[in-house]
Amino acid sequence: MSKIASQRIESRKARHNRVRRKLSGTTERPRLCVRRSLNNIFAQIVDDTTGRSLVQLVTSSKEVEAKAGNEATKTDKSRALGELIAEKAKALGVSAIVFDRGGYLYHGRVKAVADGARAAGLEF
C-alpha cells in the first residue's frame, strides 16, 4: 500500500473515532452506521447498549438490486439501500436513529443512503 493510501485510511479512522466519541445508539434510537467500499455500501442498524445488529444490508444484495433497477448507478443503489433499511427498521419498530457516517464525507453515496432512509420515514 502506498504512503498516500495509508495516510488516507488513517485519516478516515481518526475522523471515525472522533465522531464515535460523540454518538452512540440506544434501544430507543439505534445507530445507522455506513461503510463504503469501492463498489458497495454496507449499512447496518446497531443497538450499542446491547451490542446487537438489528438490520444490515449491502448494495450487492438481490433486494437492493431489484429495487434500484438494472441500469442503476452506485448512487442510485445507495439511495435504494437507505429506503430498504428504513423499511426493515420500521418493521422492527424503529422510527428514529442516529446517523454514523463512519468518518466518510457526508457527500455522494453516503448522503444518498441518508436521503433514502429519510424519504422512507426514518427520523434523524
Residue extents of the structural domains in the chain: 3-119
Q: Are 56 and 43 in contact (CB under 8 A)?
A: yes
> Does the pLDDT of residue 91 top 90, yes or no?
yes
State residue 55's pLDDT score.
Answer: 96
3-class DSSP state of 99: strand
CA-to-CA distance for 71 and 104, rounded, in angstroms? 26
Q: What percent of the chain has pLDDT over 70?
A: 100
Give the cell for residue 31.
445507530
Question: Which of the four CATH numbers 1.25.40.10, 3.30.420.100, 3.90.1150.10, 3.40.50.720 does domain 3-119 have?
Answer: 3.30.420.100
Q: What is the pLDDT of residues 27-71, one digit of tens each?
A: 999 999 999 999 999 999 999 999 999 999 999 999 999 999 989
> Does the pLDDT of residue 93 top 90, yes or no?
yes
> Does the pLDDT of residue 9 top 90, yes or no?
yes
Q: Give the closest residue to 123 by CA, choosing from 84, 94, 81.
A: 94
List the Cα angle 44/61/30 in 5-degree steps.
10
